[in-house]
Amino acid sequence: MPPNQQSRALALNQKGHLAVASNDGYITIRSTDDLDKKIASWDLGSEWIEVVRYSPDGTKFAVGSHSNYIYIYSVNGDEY
């Protein structure tokens, strides 16, 4: 499989959101009720994503990239 079709990190929150991070720096947030439904997506560049995590209360979403950056997003319902 090419890098853009390989997942490197996953995270699940209590709202039924599944974060999928790929080898090419692309992240999608999907609904666990329907994995084809994209809630949000980002392209963080050509470096792969090392880790994705939700905060315990589900209000923050963090992404650690191989580019040595950590991105933190607020989560408000289905909005990022």
Contact 30, 16 (CB under 8 A): no
Task: Report the alpha-carbon distance of residue 76 to residue 59 in Å, rounded.
Answer: 7
Q: CA dihedral defined by 43, 44, 47, 50, rounded to 10 degrees?
A: -100
Sign of torsion, CA 32 35 40 42?
positive
Degrees, nearest 5: CA angle 75-77-80: 35
3-class DSSP state for residue 3? helix
3-class DSSP state for residue 4? helix
Q: pLDDT, tens digit, for every residue of 25-48?
A: 899 999 999 999 999 999 988 788
Q: pLDDT, tens digit, for every residue of 39-72?
A: 999 998 878 899 999 999 999 999 999 889 999 9
